[in-house]
């Protein structure tokens, strides 16, 4: 069963996201194509993702 984690921009909430390499901790880095915001999204459990979504995602 495939679980899709939805990644969206913490600034504009857009889903027009592209992968942007990895940070020093090997976390996937993303960039928003709409507003150029770069951020890291940490897929954990679905429950935690839901909780994290209240804050958007952590930013670098």
Number of residues that bind Zn ion (CB under 5 A): 8
Q: Which of 5, 35, 44, 59 binds Zn ion (CB under 5 A)?
A: 35
Q: Which of 28, 34, 43, 57 binds Zn ion (CB under 5 A)?
A: 34
Cα 33 from Cα 46, distance rounded (Å): 25
Q: Which is nearer to Zn ion, 42 or 59 (CB)?
A: 59
DSSP 6-33: P---TTT----EEEEEE-TT--EEEEET
Query: Considering the rule CB under 5 A, would residue 5 count as an interface residue with Zn ion?
Result: no
Query: Considering the rule CB under 5 A, would residue 11 count as an interface residue with Zn ion?
Result: yes
């Amino acid at each position: 069963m495939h679980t899709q984690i939805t990644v969206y921009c913490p600034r504009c909430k857009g889903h027009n996201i592209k992968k942007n390499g990895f940070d020093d901790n090997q976390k996937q880095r993303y960039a928003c194509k709409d507003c150029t915001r770069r951020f890291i999204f940490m897929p954990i459990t679905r429950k935690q993702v839901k909780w994290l979504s209240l804050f958007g995602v952590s930013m670098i």
